[in-house]
Amino acid sequence: MDWKKKGLWLDFELPIVELEERIQTLQDSASVRGVDVASEVEQLRAKSTKLGKEIFAKLEPWQRVQLARHPRRPTTNDYIHYIFDDFVELHGDRMFRDDEAIVAGMASLGDHRIMILGHQKGRDTKSNIRRNFGMAHPEGYRKALRLMEMAVRFERPIVTFIDTPGAYPGVGAEERGQAEAIARNLREMADMPVPIICIVTGEGGSGGALALGVGDRIFMLENSIYSVISPEGCAAILWRDGTKSKEAAKNMKLTAQDAVDLKVVDLIINEPVGGAHRDHEAMSREIQKVILDTLAELGEIPPNELLDQRLQKFLDIGVFEEASPS
């Protein structure tokens, strides 16, 4: 498929795409003519890799926002496919309906049986409508809570994948208690005596992200974002001008590095050169390694101590000291 024509490449990616197209054209031509072009292809690939590293080493915050929203970026279902075995999806909140913006279920990872929860976006208009663009209703968060409580009963660790613009703000969602559902998840996750690992894979938007984001370890992918509001929303409030989204992103401290510097998250998980969307399998291997290492670490901590550390972790966020008068 010609992704360039489909509009699925970002502007700053196009120099890399053009090099890759040259490689493909050269290989196609060589196969027809029976010519050995291995050395030329190797040189072009080295050039492409070098160019990719140079471009992605100096991305602006707005460019990382674009990558976090990339239409080809791996979703929760992609990570489930590549990382876990024996996944069994579980549905419904036992109160209203099943919300397909949240995917949840049990799976295996090595010797571990794990409860997985995550926001799920679509790939095209039809699937995005089905998944509500990853914006969960209260029943989605109540489904997540029901299954996390199940994980506690069976002493299973919990892994959450966070990728949402925010909780759905519609009238129906508010009537069914959106704010209460999010608040309850925050309270209950803070007191669950099993290891909880939270990974921001794309957009970590507002309370919709926080509702799956109270854990012992919080990680962000290199090109993910985490913020109380979108850059567009921030620009609309501050300047009443949505075109200032790029400026807003620069000032909001929403990148993974910003979150680490502010001690909001524990670790950045590096992405393949060019972003997670260019190699889903390689990205999944990196996440799998981090999950396994973290489960081994958290498994050594007694439940009471785990809860104390989790509470302290969040109490420490935002703590500051005033400078002494000069």
Least confident of 1-5, 232-236, 254-258, 280-284: 1-5
Q: Who's near 21: CB < 8 A, 6+ residues apart? A: 4
Judge whether residue 232 has pLDDT over 70. yes
Lookup: tokens for 122: 């679509």
Local confidence band at 49 (pLDDT 50, 70, 90 cut-offs): confident
DSSP string, 303-315: HHHHHHHHHHHHH
Task: Say if 6 falls within a structural domain.
Answer: no
Tens-digit pLDDT profile for residues 3-47: 444 457 787 877 777 777 777 777 777 666 666 667 777 787 787
Judge whether residue 86 has pLDDT over 90. yes
Judge whether residue 205 has pLDDT over 50. yes
Residue 164: how many other CB atoms lie within 10 Å: 29
Same domain, 283 and 245: yes
* Helices 76-83 & 280-298 angle (0-180, nearest 10): 70
CA separation for the pair 193, 211 (Å, rounded): 17
Least confident of 4-8, 88-92, 288-292: 4-8
Average confidence (pLDDT) over 133-145: 96
DSSP conformational letter for 5:
T
Indicate the average pLDDT of the chain.
Answer: 90
CA separation for the pair 119, 154 (Å, rounded): 23
Return the sign of the alpha-carbon dihedral for residues 56, 291, 116, 183.
negative
Please give the pLDDT value at position 12: 81
Domain enclosing residue 147, as ranges: 65-315
Please give the pLDDT value at position 216: 97
Task: Say if 167 falls within a structural domain.
Answer: yes
Task: Say if 231 falls within a structural domain.
Answer: yes
Task: Say if 256 falls within a structural domain.
Answer: yes
Please give the pLDDT value at position 35: 66
**For residue 132, which amino acid is it?**
N
Task: Say if 3 falls within a structural domain.
Answer: no
Count of structural domains, the chain: 2
Tens-digit pLDDT profile for residues 245-262: 999 999 999 999 999 999
Please give the pLDDT value at position 28: 72
DSSP string, 64-95: HHHHHT-TTS--HHHHHHHH-EEEEE----SS
- C-alpha distances out from residue 55 to 11, 64, 216, Å: 11, 12, 34
Q: Who's near 318: CB < 8 A, 6+ residues apart? A: none
Please give the pLDDT value at position 260: 94
In terms of Cβ atoms closer than 10 Å to its own Cβ (0-12, 13-18, 19+), residue 260 is middle
Same domain, 283 and 201: yes
